[in-house]
Amino acid sequence: MYKVFVNDVPIILSTQKNSGANYTNIPIKKAKLKRLIPKLESGELHYLNLYHKKEHKLLKYLKRKLKVIVAGGGLVYNTKNEILFIYRNKKWDLPKGKANKGEDIETTALREVEEETKVQGLEIVSFLQTTYHVLKRNNKYRLKETHWFEMKTDYDGELIPEREEGIKKAKWKNFEKTQKALKNSYANIKLLFPKEYLVQHPNDRIS
């Protein structure tokens, strides 16, 4: 199964013909995404399952329908176990960006994190996962496929947000501040974090 986000609403790609009473279930080969995506954006449609009996063909068919933008990004830890965030479009996000032609994805991820925050001394620890979301470019829908890596650095210098890319802030955040930031982030970003970061802090609960 895969999740492809339209804003924070996931399109489910699965081998199940029926994902439940709330879902609109459509064979992925027959899905008219130019009609379905606006319904998800407007809230007219909340639950969409696109299915095919062979799991390995789900993304293949989706990529036939939507042009793919390949990107790389990082979940970066410093020596204090703080996490590097950027603030853009009134949301807390992680640094990421589009791959250059002929560039391997690890190089893309390292380059984009550095360009967007001016952090230095990055080292990839491991691959995390690939996320998918739909965006609109030049009035056409695109599928953004972002490959995420856990990274580390001992850099303790100034962070400088890449304002040309609309980034307002670049900040290190500790555990508590990360929990708070994730409340104003994106669903596909939350997928990258260990569960303990997504549990509501007891002091934030309303009695």
In a domain, 193, yes or no: yes
- The residue from 65, 88, 116 where one domain ends is 65
Domain count, the chain: 2
Which tokens sit at 119? 């952090």
- Strands, E, within the chain: which ranges? 2-6, 9-14, 24-27, 48-51, 67-77, 83-88, 91-93, 96-98, 123-137, 140-152, 167-173
pLDDT by 10s per residue, the chain, length 207: 999 999 999 999 999 998 888 899 999 999 999 999 999 999 999 999 999 999 999 999 999 999 999 999 999 999 999 999 999 999 999 999 999 999 999 999 999 999 999 999 999 999 999 999 999 998 999 999 999 999 999 999 999 999 999 999 999 999 999 999 999 999 999 999 988 898 754 444 433
User: Two tokens at 97?
Assistant: 């960006």
Place of tokens 């500790």: 174
Query: Is 122 domain-assigned?
Result: yes
pLDDT value at position 198? Answer: 86
Task: Please check whether residue 206 lies inside any domain of the structure.
Answer: no
For residue 204, being part of any structural domain is answered with: no
- Checking phi first, is residue 95 left (phi over 0); if not, alpha (psi -120 to 50) or beta? beta
77, 103: one domain = yes
The per-residue pLDDT for 206 is 37
Is the domain of 53 the same as that of 130?
Answer: no
Note whether residue 207 is domain-resident: no
Pairwise CA distance, residues 189 & 19, whole Å: 24
Residue 90: domain span: 67-199
CATH number at residue 141: 3.90.79.10
